[in-house]
Amino acid sequence: MRGVKAGKPRLLAGVIALVALGAVLLAPSSAGAAKPVWLCKPGIADNPCDVSLDTTEVSPSGDAIGTEKVKAAKHPKVDCFYVYPTVSDQPTDNANLNIDPEERSIALYQAARYTRDCRVFAPMYRQVTIAGLGRGISDLSSGVAYSDVLNAWKTYLRKYNKGRGVVLIGHSQGTYVLRKLIAEKIDPKRKLRKKLVSALLLGGNVTVKAGESSGGDFEHIKACQSKKQLHCAVAFSTFNAQPPADAIFGRTTEPGLQVLCTNPANFDGAANLHTILPSTPFAPGTTIGLATRLVGFPEFSVSTPWVESTAYNGECSSAGGANVLRITELPGAPKLNAVPNATWGLHLTDANIELGNLSDLVRRQAKAFVKKRK
C-alpha cells in the first residue's frame, strides 16, 4: 500500500457544500416526479451493487493479514433502499437521471456491501449537484430531489416489496431526503413502521428530544439502542477532533432538541470500528474522487475487491455541545484529514469508517425481523 499525501484541499466552491443543510431540503415539494431510474436493483444489467464481496483484512498500518470469501445471500429475506449523497459533477443546479461514474462509485462504496444480506434498491434522483450547492440551493431544486425519491419509494412498495422488511440507508443529502420521507410517509403509519427493519441515516443531523431517544424528526421511530432492536434509527457524523463551535454536523439550533449519535459498534460506549473500503479508487477525475483522496486513507494493492481493517476506535461524544461519533487512531493507523475543513469533520468517511459494524447490525436485525414475522 502507498499512503496518500493530503495536501491543501483544492476543492471547488461546490464541494464546500457537499450536502444541503437546514429546512430547504425539507421544504414541501412542488415538482413533478420522473419515472424511476434504478442505479441498483436486482436483475438489472451493469449493476454497481452486484459485485464480489471477497475481502482482504489488513492491519492498522496496512499490512495484509489474510483474505476472506464473503458470500452474498442467494435469497435475501429483506431489502435495502439506498439514497446516495451529493456526488454529481453535472453543471446544472439539479442533476439529470443519467448514471455517471460518480453515482456508480458511490453505490459501490456505500451500498454494495449490504448485498450480503439485502436486495439493494437504489434510485437515481435529480439531486442538487455540487455546483448547485455552490450557487445556493432553492426550495424548487430540493423539491425535485425529494419528488424523485418519493416516487421511487412508492414504486418499490407497489411493485417489489411484497410484504418484505426494508432497511433505509442514506448519507448526507440522501439522509436529508430520507428524513423527510420517513417523517411524512413512514413514521405516521403503523403498517409501514412495521415494515421498517431499521434506518441508517448517516451525516445528516437527525434530531431527537434532548436526553431522549425519540421526538425531534420522528414521533414514533426511536434511536436504536441495542443490536436486537427493530424499527429504529442509527445516525452519526464522524469527527477525529472536538468539533469547532461552527461545526456543520452534530449541532442544532432547534430548542429542546439535540442531534442523534448512535454507535452501532457499541451502543453503550467505545469500541473498535471495522472499516471496509473498495480496493479501487473512487471515480478518478471527479470532485468527490479528489476529496476522498485528501481524507488520507491509503491506496490498496490487493487481489480482492474489498479491504477491511480495525484501525480506529469510536465513541459517541457530546464534548463542546456537539453530538458526534468521535474516533481515535489505533497504533499504526493513518491520521485522517477533515475535508474540506474542520467544520465538516470526517464527513466523507461516515458510510465506510464502520461499514463492517453497520453491515453486521443489518444482518442481526434482518434475522430478528424474519424470526419475528414467523
User: CB-based burial of residue 135 (10 Å sphere; 0-12 exposed, 13-18 middle, 19+ buried)?
Assistant: middle
Q: Are strands 165-171 and 232-234 parallel, antiparallel or unpaired?
A: unpaired
Question: Residue 149 is part of which domain span?
Answer: 13-373
Question: Of 267, 189, 202, which is closest to residue 228 (Cα–Cα)?
Answer: 267
Q: Are strands 257-259 and 207-209 parallel, antiparallel or unpaired?
A: antiparallel
Residue 122 bridge partners (DSSP): 40
Q: What is the pLDDT of residues 255-298, one digit of tens each?
A: 999 999 999 999 999 999 999 999 999 999 999 999 999 999 98
pLDDT confidence band for 28 (50 / 70 / 90)? very low
pTM above 0.85, yes or no: yes
Q: How far apart are CA 174 and CA 152, in angstroms?
A: 13
- CB count within 10 Å of CB 16 equals 15
pLDDT confidence band for 29 (50 / 70 / 90)? very low
Q: DSSP character for 291?
A: H
pLDDT at 34: 62
Identify whether the C-beta of residue 145 lies closer than 8 Å to the C-beta of residue 96.
Answer: no
Q: What is the dihedral of CA 283, 285, 291, 292, to 10 degrees?
A: 30
Q: How far apart are CA 364 and CA 370, in angstroms?
A: 10
Counting residues of the chain whose pLDDT is more than 90, the rounded percentage is 83
Q: How far apart are CA 276 and CA 352, in angstroms?
A: 6
pLDDT at 141: 56
Across 313-330, average pLDDT? 97
Identify whether the C-beta of residue 245 lies closer than 8 Å to the C-beta of residue 303.
Answer: no
Q: How far is CA 63 from CA 56, 224, 314, 333, in A?
A: 10, 34, 22, 11
Q: DSSP character for 186?
A: I
Q: What is the pLDDT of residues 54-98, one digit of tens each?
A: 999 999 988 999 999 999 988 999 999 999 999 999 999 999 999
Q: What is the pLDDT of residues 299-318, one digit of tens each?
A: 888 999 999 999 999 999 99
Q: How far apart are CA 76 and CA 114, in angstroms?
A: 10
Residue 49: pLDDT above 70?
yes
pLDDT at 135: 87
Cell 467544520 sits at which residue? 343
Residue 5: pLDDT above 60?
no
Q: What is the pLDDT of residues 171-228, one digit of tens each?
A: 999 999 999 999 999 999 999 999 999 999 999 999 999 999 989 999 999 999 999 8
pLDDT at 140: 58
Does some domain include residue 119? Answer: yes
Across 101-117, average pLDDT? 98
Does some domain include residue 8? Answer: no
Residue 12: pLDDT above 60?
no
Average pLDDT, the chain: 90
Does some domain include residue 108? Answer: yes
Does some domain include residue 7? Answer: no
Does some domain include residue 359? Answer: yes
Q: How far apart are CA 124 and CA 72, in angstroms?
A: 23
Q: How far is CA 59 from the centre of its chain?
A: 25
Q: Is 295 in a helix, a strand, or coil?
A: helix
pLDDT at 136: 82
Q: Give the chain's domain count.
A: 1
Q: Are strands 324-329 and 238-239 parallel, antiparallel or unpaired?
A: parallel
